[in-house]
Amino acid sequence: MRAPLRGKRDLNPVLPLLRLAEPGNGRAICWFKDTAGTPLEKAWEVVSLLCERGVPIEMIKSENPGKIIYEDEWRVAAKPRKKDRIRS
Check residue 43 and give its pLDDT: 87
Structural contact between residues 39 and 74, judged by C-beta atoms closer than 8 angstroms:
yes
Is a pLDDT exceeding 70 seen at residue 14? no
**Which pLDDT does position 19 carry in this prediction?**
74
Coil, helix or strand for 85?
coil
- Which of 5, 77, 1 has the alpha carbon at shortest distance from 48? 5
pLDDT confidence tier of residue 1, bands split at 50, 70 and 90: very low
Rounded to two decimals, the pTM is 0.67
Residues in the chain, total: 88
31-55 pLDDT per residue, tens: 999 899 888 888 898 899 999 999 9
Is the pLDDT at 73 greater than 70? The verdict is yes
Q: What is the DSSP string of 40-74?
A: HHHHHHHHHHHHHTT--------S--SEEEEE-SS
